[in-house]
Chain A
Amino acid sequence: MPQFGRYLLQRFARALLTVWGVVTLVFLLVHLIPGDPLDAILGEQAAPEDRAALRASLRLDRPLPEQYARFVGEVLDGTLGHSFRSRDSAVSTLIAEVLPHTGLLALTSMSLALLLALPLGSLAAVRRGTGWDRAASLTAMLGLAIPNIWLGPLLVLLFGVQLRWLPLPGDDAAGPSALILPTLTVGTALMAVLTRQTRASMIEVLSEQYVRAAHARGLSPVAVLFRHALRNALLPVLTVSGAQLGSLLGGTVIAEKIFERPGLGTLFLEAFFDRDIPVIQGCVLVVAVTYVVVNLVIDLLYGVADPRVRLS
């Protein structure tokens, strides 16, 4: 296993480097954007004393390396700084309060996408050129074409207003059923992407020698499909799911606004309107680090599942 150990170490080192890059980029964001952030926070007509006071409290008057060291320190001690608006709360506390809501929505959306895309994509590949295949392609195309800012209101109109099957946005009394429409809003685009990917990699795998060999050995078609084809076709699907995590998390911001749900996106948008820069930086940081960590896990799973990856 020494090769696998080295593979692990390499991936960890690279992920750590990326996280450091993310932290640095989030810090630099405030400094890279042309114009004075104080104008954004206070407005351009603010009194000079107010500006000076805020500049000092934000430590924008300190040298850049010192500011950077403070920022990295706040990331390392886990506070992520303090909110402007609610001065007593550490940014990490504010984020931790709402993160479970967003995490749940992301999880249900990802699950929905995979649960629909894997059978649909496989079916399209196995029954290539038939009505099944065309139906899957059409579903994927529609799923990709409908913007989520549009899909959300449409779903509300159909299932909330017309059919009255599901609760309307902002209905606090609603139970878990309140999660269904947001999940569809966030998960549909991913479902479409993954259906296409599953179909493509299944078609590729089905023409491989080992699949033909399995058929030749007299294995049942179902066994060949599940044990030999799907298992190998899953890997690229997993990679694409990881790469799509960013747009999935972006989708949760939109769904939280449409369905008036608490979460990271709602906190982020509130922070935007308050120009609460530490909270904005904290949200961006958490989202980007989540992306890096999930993709690291997928990379490692890939290494476990496919020896060719870790040995090359």
Chain B
Amino acid sequence: MRLPFGAWVVLGFLLLAAFGPLLAPYSPSAIDLEAEYALPSAAHLLGTTDNGVDVLSVVLHGARLACLIALGAVLVSLTVGTLLGTLAGLRGGLTDHVITGVADLVQAFPSIVLNIAILALTARPGLLHVVLALSANGWVLFARLSRAETLRLREAEFVQAARALGASEARVLGRHVVPNLAGPLLVQASAALGGAVLAESTLSFLGLGPGQVASWGALLDQGSAVLLRFPHVALISGTVIALTVLGFNLAGDWLRDRLDPKTR
């Protein structure tokens, strides 16, 4: 199977997250004041940033942080959103009204604003807090998608056929509804992972990240501060963030096309 560009980027990102910190030539907190904001060279392949910290090492360690937060946030959002959305779709009535109402309400808050407000109320925002803050609105899209899909599948001919053949409600759900939910949810999850990487970078860029040494967004923030004299820091970190987000989006599009038999 030939993998497209997006899938390669995602694969590369996952490998960086897994092994990047082992490959990093320096510690992301190793200070070398002699070499502050050095341009890329043999000693520092991507140059250095504030206090002479090696940019490549920050990028490699930052990949793990971004990956952990994105996976965590999407996992929580996917689980909570799908449970609530399927419940709303199957039950209908008051349950549906309440869940849809809360989802509408959360959507009135710009995600970044809600994330910041939540982090503001925690004493020392850590990894877990950022994951939960991102999930606070991340679940809405999954809930909407799984609700719509459940409503559609409930009335689909093959589901009605299964019912007519005497299949139990549990079998209908397990064998017919859930497997058909998986495709659209996977596509949504891929886009959401890209979104979560971007959200983590944005929070760190604004100085509200989980306070880790190595984060892509924090690196971009440092780079922006010295943009006029040492543009390489911002150029490198910005490219890494943009490329990763683009990769996840393209991978999502590719998955959608592959999973949808109609477009094949």
Contacts and interface: CB of A to CB of B under 8 A. Distances in A.
Interface in A234-286: 246-247, 249-250, 253-254, 257-258, 268-269, 271-273, 275, 277, 280-281, 283-284
Chain B interface category by residue count: 35 or more
Interface in A93-127: none
Contacts of B105: 18, 21-22, 25
Given A149-B241, A272-B208, A40 B121 contact: yes
A157 B231 contact: yes
A291 B206 CA distance: 23
Interface stretch (B58-66, B67-75, B180-188, B197-205): B197-205
B110 A246 contact: yes
Nearest to B104: A18
A272 B120 contact: yes
B118 interface: yes
Contact of A153 (B107, B217, B223): B223
Nearest to B224: A153
By secondary structure, the A interface counts as helix
A44 B231 CA distance: 39
A174 interface: no
A245 to B, nearest CB: 8
B108 to A, nearest CB: 4
A275 B111 contact: no
Contact of A268 (B101, B108, B116, B239): B116
B242 interface: yes
Interface residues of A, number: 50
B170 interface: no
Nearest to B197: A147
A287 B116 CA distance: 13
A44 B123 CA distance: 7
A149 B201 contact: yes
A271 B120 contact: yes
B7 interface: no
B237 to A, nearest CB: 8
A30 B120 CA distance: 10
Interface string B201-231: 1100111100000000100100110011001
Interface in B78-126: 101, 104-114, 116-123
Nearest to A292: B108
A157 B228 CA distance: 7
Interface stretch (A31-39, A84-92, A198-206): A31-39
Given A147-B241, A156-B227, A29 B118 contact: yes
Given A246-B107, A275-B120, A154 B113 contact: no
B238 interface: yes
Given A18-B104, A22-B105, A277-B121, A254 B206 contact: yes
Nearest to A24: B105
A250 B110 contact: yes
B245 interface: yes
Contact of B113 (A35, A39, A157, A249): A249
Contact of B112 (A152, A253, A275, A277): A253
A211 to B, nearest CB: 26
B39 interface: no
Contacts of B239: 150
B113 A153 contact: no
Interface in B128-185: none
Contact of B111 (A29, A250, A272, A292): A250
Contacts of B112: 250, 253-254
A168 B112 CA distance: 25
A58 to B, nearest CB: 12
14 contacts: A21-B101, A21-B105, A22-B108, A25-B109, A40-B122, A145-B249, A150-B238, A168-B228, A250-B110, A253-B116, A254-B112, A277-B121, A284-B114, A291-B108
Interface of B: 101, 104-114, 116-123, 198, 201-202, 205-208, 217, 220, 223-224, 227-228, 231, 234-235, 238-239, 241-242, 245-246, 249
Given A161-B231, A272-B208, 16 more contacts: A21-B105, A22-B108, A35-B123, A145-B242, A149-B205, A149-B217, A149-B241, A150-B220, A150-B241, A156-B224, A156-B227, A249-B113, A253-B206, A271-B120, A272-B116, A275-B120
3 closest pairs, A vs B, by CB? A150-B238, A250-B110, A39-B123
